A and B are shown apart, each in its own frame.
Chain A
Amino acid sequence: MIDVHLDTDIGDDIDDVFCLALLLQCPELALSGVTTAWGRTGERCDIVADLCSQVALAPPIAGGFAVPMASRRFHDDLLLRLIYPFDGPSKFRTDAVEALRLITAVPEDGVILTIGAMTNAAAAMLARDKREPFPRIIAMAGEFQRYGHIEFNIRCDPEAAHVCFSRGTPIDVIPWSIGPATKLLPSDIDRIRASDTPLCRRVFHYLQSFWKHVPNKTNMYDPMTVVALLKPELFDWKRGHVAIELRGEHTYGQTTFREDPGGPHRVAFGVQAEAANAFLIDRLTGTEAKQ
Chain B
Amino acid sequence: MISVHLDTDIGDDIDDAFCLALLLQCPELSIQSITTVLNDTAHRADMCRDLCSATGKNPPIAAGSRGVLTRRPVEWAMKRNPYHSALRRTEAKSNMPETLELLAAVRRSADVLLTIGPMTNLAMSLVADPDVSRFPRYIAMAGEVRTPHHGEWNIRVDVDAAAVVLDSPISIDFIPWRIGIDTKLTDAEQAELDRATNPVAKVLNAFRQQFKKTDKRQEMFDPMTIVALLHDDWFTWQRGTVAVETRGDHTYGLTHIRPHEDGRHRVAVGVDAQKAKRWMLDRLCAEKTS
Bound pair (A, B) = yes
How far, in whole Å, are A146 and B250 apart by their CA atoms in the complex?
16
For B236-276 the 0/1 string (1 means CB < 8 A from A) is 00000001111111111010110000000000000000000
Closest to A254 in B: B251
Contact of B245 among A145, A243, A244, A248 (CB under 8 A): A248
In the bound complex, do residue B246 and residue A249 qualify as a contact, i.e. CB atoms below 8 Å apart? yes
Contacts of B251 in A (CB 8 A): 245, 248, 250-251, 254, 256
In the bound complex, do residue A251 and residue B254 qualify as a contact, i.e. CB atoms below 8 Å apart? yes
How far, in whole Å, are A148 and B257 apart by their CA atoms in the complex?
9
Give the interface size class of chain B.
10 to 19
In the bound complex, do residue A247 and residue B248 qualify as a contact, i.e. CB atoms below 8 Å apart? yes
**Between A and B, how many residue pairs show CB distances below 8 Å?**
55
Q: A144-B148, A147-B147 are in contact. Are A254 and B250 (CB under 8 A)?
A: yes
In the bound complex, do residue B248 and residue A251 qualify as a contact, i.e. CB atoms below 8 Å apart? yes
Q: Closest approach, in angstroms, between the C-beta of B160 and any C-beta of chain A?
A: 13
Asked whether any CB of chain A lies closer than 8 Å to the CB of B146, the reply is yes
In the bound complex, do residue A243 and residue B250 qualify as a contact, i.e. CB atoms below 8 Å apart? yes
How far, in whole Å, are A256 and B148 apart by their CA atoms in the complex?
9
Contacts of B245 in A (CB 8 A): 248-251
In the bound complex, do residue B248 and residue A248 qualify as a contact, i.e. CB atoms below 8 Å apart? yes
Asked whether any CB of chain A lies closer than 8 Å to the CB of B145, the reply is yes
Give the interface size class of chain A.
10 to 19
Q: A146-B148, A256-B149 are in contact. Are A250 and B249 (CB under 8 A)?
A: no
How far, in whole Å, are A16 and B60 apart by their CA atoms in the complex?
65
Closest to B163 in A: A249
Contacts of A145 in B (CB 8 A): 148
Contact of A147 among B146, B246, B252 (CB under 8 A): B146
How far, in whole Å, are A147 and B256 apart by their CA atoms in the complex?
9
Contacts of A243 in B (CB 8 A): 249-250
Contacts of B244 in A (CB 8 A): 250
For B192-216 the 0/1 string (1 means CB < 8 A from A) is 0000000000000000000000000
For A134-176 the 0/1 string (1 means CB < 8 A from B) is 0000000000111110000000000000000000000000000
Question: Which secondary structure dominates where chain A touches chain B?
Answer: loop
In the bound complex, do residue B145 and residue A248 qualify as a contact, i.e. CB atoms below 8 Å apart? no
Q: A148-B256, A250-B256, A251-B254 are in contact. Are A245 and B148 (CB under 8 A)?
A: no
Asked whether any CB of chain B lies closer than 8 Å to the CB of A124, the reply is no
How far, in whole Å, are A248 and B251 apart by their CA atoms in the complex?
7
How far, in whole Å, are A145 and B147 apart by their CA atoms in the complex?
8
- 22 A-B pairs with CB atoms under 8 Å apart are A144-B149, A146-B148, A147-B145, A147-B146, A148-B148, A243-B249, A245-B248, A245-B249, A247-B248, A248-B245, A248-B250, A249-B243, A249-B245, A249-B248, A250-B243, A250-B245, A250-B251, A251-B248, A251-B251, A254-B251, A256-B250, A257-B149
Closest to A255 in B: B250
In the bound complex, do residue A251 and residue B256 qualify as a contact, i.e. CB atoms below 8 Å apart? yes
Q: Closest approach, in angstroms, between the C-beta of B156 and any C-beta of chain A?
A: 14
In the bound complex, do residue B249 and residue A246 qualify as a contact, i.e. CB atoms below 8 Å apart? yes
For A225-269 the 0/1 string (1 means CB < 8 A from B) is 000000000000000000111111111001011000000000000
Closest to B258 in A: A250
In the bound complex, do residue B248 and residue A148 qualify as a contact, i.e. CB atoms below 8 Å apart? no
Contacts of B247 in A (CB 8 A): 247-249
Contacts of A254 in B (CB 8 A): 248, 250-251
Q: A148-B257, A250-B243, A250-B248 provided; 12 other pairs, C-beta below 8 A?
A: A145-B148, A147-B148, A148-B145, A148-B256, A248-B248, A248-B250, A248-B251, A249-B248, A250-B251, A251-B248, A251-B251, A254-B250
Q: Closest approach, in angstroms, between the C-beta of A155 and any C-beta of chain B?
A: 14
Q: Closest approach, in angstroms, between the C-beta of A11 and any C-beta of chain B?
A: 30
For B108-151 the 0/1 string (1 means CB < 8 A from A) is 00000000000000000000000000000000000001111100
Contacts of B250 in A (CB 8 A): 243-245, 248, 251, 254, 256
Q: Closest approach, in angstroms, between the C-beta of B29 and any C-beta of chain A?
A: 33
For B67-109 the 0/1 string (1 means CB < 8 A from A) is 0000000000000000000000000000000000000000000
Q: Which 3 A-B pairs have the closest CB atoms?
A: A248-B248, A251-B251, A250-B256
Closest to B242 in A: A250
Contacts of A146 in B (CB 8 A): 148
Contacts of B249 in A (CB 8 A): 243, 245-248
How far, in whole Å, are A244 and B249 apart by their CA atoms in the complex?
9
